[in-house]
Each structure stands twice: as C-alpha cells, then as structure tokens.
Structure 1
Amino acid sequence: MKILLVHQNFPGQFLHLAPALVARGHEVLALTDERNNRPSPVRTVRYKAPPAENPVRGLARTYAEYSERGWLAARGCRALRDRHGYVPDLIFGHSGWGETLFLREIWPEAKLLVYAELLYRTRGQDVGFDPEITPDSDEGRVSTLARSAHLIQGLVQADAGLSPTRYQADSFPPELRQKLTVIHDGIDTDKVRPDPSARLELPNGRVLSAQDEVLSYVSRSLEPYRGFHRFMRALPEVMRVRPDAQVVLIGGDGVSYGGLPRDAESWKAKMLAELDGQLDLERIHFLGRVPYPQYLSLLQIARAHCYLTYPFVLSWSLTEAMAAGCNIVASDTEPVRELIRDGENGRLVPFFDQPALETALIEALTQDSARLRSAARQTILDGYDQKSDSLPKLVEWVESFTP
C-alpha cells in the first residue's frame, strides 16, 4: 500500500511502526509540521505551520486552533495530490491536533485511521479530580466539552481508530468506542532492561549506582497531573526515615498538562517554597529534561520508583520503568490499575493519602523487593513487548485495511 502517516511532531507514536511497514514492502510517507526537526525513519514532507498566536478566545479557541491546523495539513496534501499525483491507499494520523479533520475531502477513497489517544470528559477523569489544583465548576466542564469537539469529529470521520490502553479507549462514548482497537505502542525490552552495572552522574559530579539508595521520579514536566505536589510533600518524612536516600527527579519546569501555578513561576518553585526548611536539598537532585540514556540509567539504578497520575493518559515512563525492573510505588488511579496489581508487580496507594504514600516509599527503599521487580518486567514481556507483541499487532491492524 501507499501509506501516509500524519503527526505534527513525527515520528511520535509511529517511530517503530513506520520502518516496520516499510520492511513489509509498503511505500510510507510522513506528513508533519514545517517546524518539526526530529529525525524521521521515513521520507517526510511538511505542511505550513499555523500562526503562533490564536486570535480566537473563549469556548471556540481550541477548535479554531486545531481546525486551522487541519486545513493547513489538508492544503499540504492537496499540493501532494495536484502537483505530484500522490494518492495514498491509507492515511493514519494522530487526531489530537486536528490534522486529519479534512483529509477525507482531499482523498475520499483512502482508508482513514486515527490514533485516538484520549477523549476529554467532564466527569471521571482529570476534571475536578484534584480540587486543590483544578476545582470542579460549570465553567471547567463546559470548557472541557468544547475542547473535545475536534477529537469527536476526527473519530466520526475515520474508518477506525487505535488507542494504546483500555482506559484511554474507554474515555470515548460507546457509539465511538466500537470503532477503536486497543494496542499499546510497545516497549523495546532489549534496550529497556535491568542493568546492575548502570551508573548515573549527577550535576555535582557524584556518581550513583544500584548500590546507592536512590528514589526516582520521572515526568515530562514536574506538575500536579503527574502527582509532583504529592511526591514532594512525601519527601520530608521519607528523607527523615531514610537518611541515606538520594532523590533524583527528571522533568521540565513547564507544564505539559494543566496550567502553571498562579503564585509561582513553576510547580517546582511553588513546592520548594512550601517545603522550605523541611528538605535536605543536598540529597534532592533536579536533572530537568535529559537525554534518553541518562533517563534509562536512572530507572536502572533506582531502589524505588514513584509514578503518580490523575485519571488521564498513561505515561510511557511507567511501562519503561516496569520493563527496567523498577520497584514501583504508584497511584491507585484507573489508568495505572490496568498495569499494576498491588502487591503483585508493584504497590498502589490512593492518590490523596499522603501517609500511605510516605509509608510505601519508605518500605520500597527499605525492602527493595526482587519479586515485585521481576513481576513488573514480566508484565511488560507478557503483553507490551514491542518486538514479540505490540509491533506485530500494529502492523497486522494497519494491513487489515488493505483496499
């Protein structure tokens, strides 16, 4: 087939699928934003980027922004069609930024698939989950509904969609859920594996290994959606009881989900101010965003790894931490329960139970359970391994839409 993959930050979720489809003999082309400079495993074309400033305000803001991106993507595809005679058999694009919205009008005969990552909902997910940070309100729920419009339209127009977890697929209503297949992106368990020889050099020059008592926390951004505030508030007691513990955090100071605090420049600054005088800052190491090998080394040396999240998109870092054989303490929230079974392959604690989180982290640093570590990795090997499970399923799913 001629397959067009669409993602404003390509390769994104298509990093491994794209070359696998090429290896199967398909002609694969990627369409992405002109500002995206990430290395691509396949030939790539770019559409004109939307303006940096969205002039629309209010409830229509999100749809205006993403429909504009969708139109720019469609114009790029029209040029491919009219100037170069390109006609794909199948289009597979991420629906999150509106890029697939109008592609059916350019190539009405092509099969259209979407990567349906999550549908925002007014109840049962992130909205109103954490009253301290995101109080429940009529305005918040209405805004959430408005931000869902392009996601619903994208899946309605598609022949089928893909979600990485059952939880994320189930965020869509039944009439759309029936169009979705659940296949995780998969983890390269040859690369992401336990390594007793791993080392991590800190900015101060100290080198940590698995012989040290390391507590790790990883998130793209240090923010409440990933429980950063709950983790930080647990540290005074954890570090008091475990005087040799070294706490290492990876994540940027901005926000990936939600917003910045009103009274500080970042959530990191806010929490350090709140806990001023309660923390041994010489034993807490904020690494920011780091290269992948450094991130992986942290997972491999950690005595305990903490993963907290609102009911929301599941982080790749959890599945990679499990593949690396981490001793995991995680929040007892719905997306996490799909992978972690309390006492079997990790520990689950209620998101808002601060004493329970402190106790679980202290126990994980004290006991360093080999049984939980092994079971965590086995969970990934059994159902999320990229080579033996996820990637073959993804290729088979795409090829099932052969014209």
Structure 2
Amino acid sequence: MKILFVHQNFPGQFLHLAPALAARGHEVMGLTDEKNQRPSPVRTVRYKAPEEQQIRGLARSYAEHSERGWMAARGCRALRNQHGYTPDLIFGHSGWGETLFLREIWPEAKLLVYAELMYRTRGQDVGFDPEVNADSDEGRVTTLARSAHLIQGLVQADAGLSPTRYQADSFPPELRQKLTVIHDGIDTDVVRPDPQARLQLPDGRVLTAQDEVVSYVSRSLEPYRGFHRFMRALPQVMRARPNAQVVLIGGDGVSYGSNPVDAPNWKAKMLAELDGQLDLSRIHFLGRVPYSQYLSLLQIARVHCYLTYPFVLSWSLTEAMAAGCQIIASDTEPVRELIRDGENGRLVPFFDQPALEAALIRALAGDPEAARLGAAARQTILDGYDLKRQSLPRLVEWVESFAP
C-alpha cells in the first residue's frame, strides 16, 4: 500500500510503526508541520504552519484546529495535483485537526485516526482537583467546545486506534465502537533492569541502585501529573529517610492545564510554599534530559512515584514498569488499568497525603516485597505491552487489515 502518516510532530506515536510498515514493502511517507525538527525514520513532506488565530471564546479551539486541518489539506492537495500522489491509506493523529479535511482530497483512501482522548465534562480531569481547577459551568462548556474537532475527526474516519482502554472509553459509545485498543509498545530489550546503572548528577555526584533514590518523571512539572502532591510529601519523607535522594525529570512549563496565577511556574510555587521544609541538597531537578539519562534514573530508583489526574496515561509509567521499578502510583482510573495494588505496585488515593508519604517511606526503607513487585511490574509489560513481541505485530496487522 501507499501509506501516508499525518502528525504535526511526526513521527510521534508512529515512531516504530512507520518504519515497520516500510520494511514490509509498503510505500510509507509522513506529512508534518514545517516547523517540526524531529528526525524521521521515513521520508517526510511538510505543510505550511497555520498562522496564529485571533479568535477568542468558545470558537477558538475549533478555529485553531480546523485551520491546521486546512493547511494539512492544502499540503495534500499539492501532493495530489503537482506530484500525482494518491495514498491507499491515511493514518493521522486527530488531536490537532490535521485529518479533518483529508477525505475531500482523497475520498477513496481509507482514513484511520489515532484517537488519544475525548475530553469529558465529568469523571475525568475537569473538576478533579478543586485546588487547581474548580468545577464550573464555564469550565464544562469550554471542555465540551474543545471536543468538536475530535468528534468530527472520528466520525469521518473508517476506524480509530487508542493506546489504552481508559483512553478509548473516554469516547461516547457510538464512537467507541470504531476504536481498537493497542498500546504503542515499550522496547523491553532497551528498557530493562540494570543493577550496574549509574546516574551522574549536575554537581558531579553519582547515584546507583545502592542509594535511596525516589524518581519522579513528567514532561512538565505540573498538577496534572500530581507534582504538587508529590512535593508536599517530601518534607515528611526526607525527615524519615535522611539519606533519601529525590530526582525529578521534567520541564518547568505546562503540557496540560495552566501556570499558577501567583508564580511563574509550579516548581517555583511549590518551592515557595515549602520554603524551609526541604533539604534542597537532596532534591535534584534535572529538567529535560537525554533518553539514556532518563533510563538510568529508572534503573537506579528504589521507588518510582507516578501520580496523575484521570487523563492520558504517561509513557513514563509503562517504561518504569519495564525497568522493574517498585511503583507508587495514584489510585486513578488510567493507572488501575496497569497497576494492581499489592500485585505489581502500590496504589494510594491521589489526595491522601499521609498515605503517599507512608508508601514512599516504606519503599525507601526497604520494602521486603519490592523485588516481587518490580518483577511483576515488568512482567505486566512483557505480557501485554512489549513493542517487538506484542504491540508492533498487532499494530502492523491492524493497519494492513485495511488494505484495499
């Protein structure tokens, strides 16, 4: 087949799938935003980036996403008219609107979408954490308005793909029936336990698995990933475990939600709130780091803390499990799909500060169940989320099932 992947940050979720399909003899190409600088495993073409929209209010989200959809469609029209290109199958991420108008360019092509999450007004992130985002009519209406392009994208598609059941189930039943659940996959040959791993800190100190290391990883240090709850647990944890070292990976901005109103970012806000309560010589903010350094952190951590709102599940959780970490995680719906309390990790209520503190202290002190929990966590990934043996073969089979 001629297969066109569409993703403004290509390869994104198609990092392994696109080259795997090319290796099987398909003619594979990626379409992406002209500003995207990520290296691609297959040939790419670029569409002109949309101009910033000046629209405000409820129409803003759809205006921005439909404008990107139109720019992507114009790029595809040029491929068709100037180069005679016609794909048999299009597979695009629906989150940014890029697939909205592609049926008008190639009406005969099969259209698949990566359906990452449907925004919902209840039972998800909206109103979950009143401290950060209180439930309100305005908030729910805004969330509903932001869903328009996601609904349109899946309605137009022949089928969709979601990485977890939780994410697929965020879509209403009439659309959920179009979705197949296959995780992107974790390369367990790369992400694996390594007792000899070492992590060098910016000050030159080296940490190993012999140290009492707590790891926390998020694309951005923000409430959606429980950063504020984690930070508030540290004074008690560090008092109880005077040799503990806390290592955080993540940027200072926001990936989801918004910055606090009374500080430049959530890191600054939490450090100000906890001023005088933390031994900052034992807390290490690494920012965003190379993958190898991130992997070393997971391999040396005595305990990995993962907290999240009911929202998109992070790759960091599945990779921490693959690395054999002892996991302390929030007892929220997306996490419960992978972690079973006492079987392959430990769950604590998102808002139960004493429970989080006690769980982290117990893990650092040498939980006798740590080895069993870590091994069970890795086995969970091996059994259902392994890239080469589970996810990638299923993804290839699913895509090829749409061959004309």
Q: TM-score normalised to the size of structure 2?
A: 0.99
Equivalent in the alignment of 1:112: 111
Instruction: Give SS of 1:92's match.
Output: strand
CA distance in 2, matches of 1:270, 1:37: 32
Q: How far apart are 1:366 and its partner, in Å? A: 1.3
1:121 is aligned with what amino acid? R
**Which one-letter code corresponds to 1:19 in the other structure?**
P
Q: Give the length in aligned residue pairs.
A: 402
Q: How does 1:104-183 map to 2 (within 5 A)?
A: 104-183=103-182
Kindly provide the amino acid, as one letter, of the partner of residue 374 in structure 2. Answer: R
Partner of 1:399: 400
Matching residue of 2:21 = 21
Q: How does 1:320-335 map to 2 (within 5 A)?
A: 320-335=319-334
Alpha-carbon separation, structure 2, partners of 1:86 and 1:95? 22
CA shift digits 1:144-202 (9 cap, x unpaired): 00000000000000000000000000000000000000000000000000001111110
**Structure 1 Cα separation of the partners of residues 115 and 361 of structure 2:** 38
Residue 38 of structure 1 corresponds to 38
* Alpha-carbon distance in structure 2 between the residues aligned to 1:401 and 1:390: 18
For 1:186 and 1:296, locate their aligned partners in 2 and report how far apart those are by CA, in whole Å: 16
- Give the deviation of 1:367 after TM superposition: 2.1
Q: Once the two structures are superposed, what CA deviation does each residue of 1:350-391 show, in whole Å capped at 9, x if it has no partner?
A: 000000000001111112410001000000000000000000
1:181-196, aligned counterparts within 5 Å? 181-196=180-195
1:250 aligns with 2:252: no
Q: Distance in 1 between matches of 2:321 and 2:363?
A: 15
The 5 A counterparts of 1:1-400 are: 1-51=1-51, 53-368=52-367, 369-400=370-401
Secondary structure, counterpart of 2:20 in structure 1: helix
Gaps of 5+ in 1: none
- Separation in structure 2 between the aligned mates of residue 29 and residue 278 of structure 1, nearest angstrom: 53
How big is each residue's C-alpha offset from its partner over 1:102-158, in whole Å with a ceiling of 9 and x where there is no partner?
A: 000000000000000000000000000000001000000000000000000000000
Counterpart amino acid of residue 19 in structure 2:
P
- Provide the C-alpha distance between the structure 2 equivalents of 1:217 and 1:16, rounded to a whole number of angstroms: 26
Task: State the alpha-carbon separation in 1 of the partners of residues 365 and 374 from structure 2.
Answer: 14
User: Any idea what SS the aligned residue of 1:367 has?
Assistant: coil
**C-alpha separation between the residues in 2 aligned to 1:383 and 1:130?**
31
Q: Distance in 1 between matches of 2:319 and 2:365?
A: 23
Cα separation, 1, equivalents of 2:283 and 2:50: 40
Residue type of the alignment partner of 2:371: A
Letter in 2 for 1:7: H
Q: 1:197, 1:104 → 2: CA distance?
A: 52
Q: Report SS of the residue matched to 1:162.
A: strand
Moved >6 Å (runs of 4+): none
Task: Say which SS state the counterpart of residue 167 (structure 2) adopts.
Answer: helix
TM-aligned CA deviation for residue 54 of structure 1? 1.8
Rounded to whole Å, the distance in 1 between the matches of 2:279 and 2:142 is: 41
Q: Which amino acid aligns with 1:6?
A: V
Name the amino acid aligned to 1:253: D
For 1:255 and 1:313, how far apart are their aligned partners in 2? 15
Distance 1:56 1:104 in 2: 26
Structure 1 Cα separation of the partners of residues 55 and 197 of structure 2: 50
SS of 1:294 mapped into structure 2: helix
Q: Deviations over 1:45-92 (max 9, x none)?
A: 0000012x3211000001000000000000000000000000000000
Q: Tell me the SS of whatever aligns to 1:305.
A: strand
Structure 2 distance, partners of 1:367, 1:11, is 40
Supply the AA of the counterpart residue of 2:50: P
- Show CA shifts across 1:259-305 (max 9, x none): 00000000000000000000000000000000000000000000010
| Aligned-partner Cα distance in 1 for 2:365–2:241 | 8
- Deviation, 1:23, is 1.0
Structure 2 gap ranges (5+): none
